[in-house]
Structure 1
């Protein structure tokens, strides 16, 4: 695509190109290219490898952390009947975090070189190449880094005994989110609920990209009025 004299070459690593689009980046990144194989991000093989993640790595890496959280809560004196509602609350809190991050961070509008570059790495690449099967889930390295501030955040309003249970619930919510996200893009669901959720999410990608920020459910879109309309608005309206 050519914008104001700059050409994005899809055959070359993209990350350090997209910043040059400036204010045209927003339009460019929301014109999806639907292929399972994604573009190259970096010249460096090392940095490139950090952007690629198979979907099954998420449950393999993070479910043991969930189990550790349960065992930690038990060792702190909590019983299973006490842990279960805390886990459910942690999952519920995650759904709000999921919606908030997607709406206000992942869809932030940028036009500076480094703003465009950061946004493309964070979420823009997913909208440009929505079927890229190795960049649909969050890289474990990035998740591990984010675990530390989130753990300390939970500690601010939870007791030492309840912190592991709440955090574990949130982590389970995250695993459910990332696996569901991959499923919605690449599976062919047959059950009505899953089919509707897939339609809901792909609607966000290909039709109304400033609505429908929920992935695992439409709950917070309903609460905050970002539920997509049944028909796309006509141009000029």
Structure 2
């Protein structure tokens, strides 16, 4: 692949190559290579290992953390009728975080060397290799680091006894998001809801990359006007 006189060699570790694409990075990263096996990122085996995550690691690691957080609120005297709305609110808040991160951070425009490099590691690699089964979910190490600022943010707005349940609900939302994301890429849904979700998300990858940022639902795309147009509606507009 040639851009601005620089050739990206797909047979060599990619992370420190893509920054050289400059302004051409945006176009390059949205030309997907569809295969289950992804490229090598780093020459170092250690750093390469940190980028690889099996999908089942997400529920195995983070569901117990979510349950533990919720149990903390119980141990502080919160009753079940109080816990359930807090957990539900945490899940709901996560859907907004999911949308916001995807739209404003994961799809930020970059053109500098380090900007392109950071974006490729964060999300660009997923658009370039959307079927890479070992880089579809968020690495647990990165999630663990992000938990601290999110926990402290929740503490600012919630009471000490409600903070763990609210955070646990958000963690449940995150687990559902990452597992759903993997499912939409690699499963063959048979039910209408999951079929539509898969179609919705793959549309974001292969047709309109600047719309359809929701993964678990299209709620916030509807609210903020980033719902992608269908082929039918586009053809109707052209006729008018």
TM norm. shorter chain > 0.5: yes
Q: Secondary structure at the match of 1:235?
A: helix
Aligned mates of 1:211, 1:4 — CA distance in 2: 27
Q: Which residue of 1 is the match for residue 156 of structure 2?
A: 156
Cα deviations by residue, 1:97-152 (Å, 9 ceiling, x for unpaired): 00000000000000000000000000000000000000000000000000000000
Cα deviations by residue, 1:20-68 (Å, 9 ceiling, x for unpaired): 0000000000000000000000000000000000000000000000110
Q: Which residue of 2 is the match for residue 109 of structure 1?
A: 109
Structure-2 change in CA distance of 1:42 and 1:89 (3 Å): same
Aligned mates of 2:120, 2:4 — CA distance in 1: 19
Q: Runs in 1 of length 4+ with deviation above 4 angstroms?
A: 234-237
- Give yes or no for contact 2:34–2:130 (8 Å, CA) kept in 1: yes
What does residue range 57-206 of structure 1 map to in structure 2 within 5 Å?
Answer: 57-206=57-206
Aligned mates of 1:97, 1:126 — CA distance in 2: 19
TM-score relative to the length of structure 2: 0.96
Unpaired runs of 5+ residues, structure 2, are none
Aligned mates of 1:170, 1:65 — CA distance in 2: 11
Shift of 1:236: 16
Aligned mates of 1:25, 1:213 — CA distance in 2: 20
Cα deviations by residue, 1:164-215 (Å, 9 ceiling, x for unpaired): 0100000000000000000000000000000000000000000000000000
Shift of 1:4: 1.7
Cα deviations by residue, 1:151-171 (Å, 9 ceiling, x for unpaired): 000000000000001000000
Paired positions, count:
236
TM-score relative to the length of structure 1: 0.98
Aligned mates of 2:75, 2:60 — CA distance in 1: 24
Shift of 1:235: 12
Aligned mates of 1:66, 1:80 — CA distance in 2: 16
Aligned mates of 1:98, 1:3 — CA distance in 2: 32
- Give yes or no for contact 2:71–2:165 (8 Å, CA) kept in 1: no
Q: Secondary structure at the match of 2:239?
A: coil
Aligned mates of 1:19, 1:227 — CA distance in 2: 31
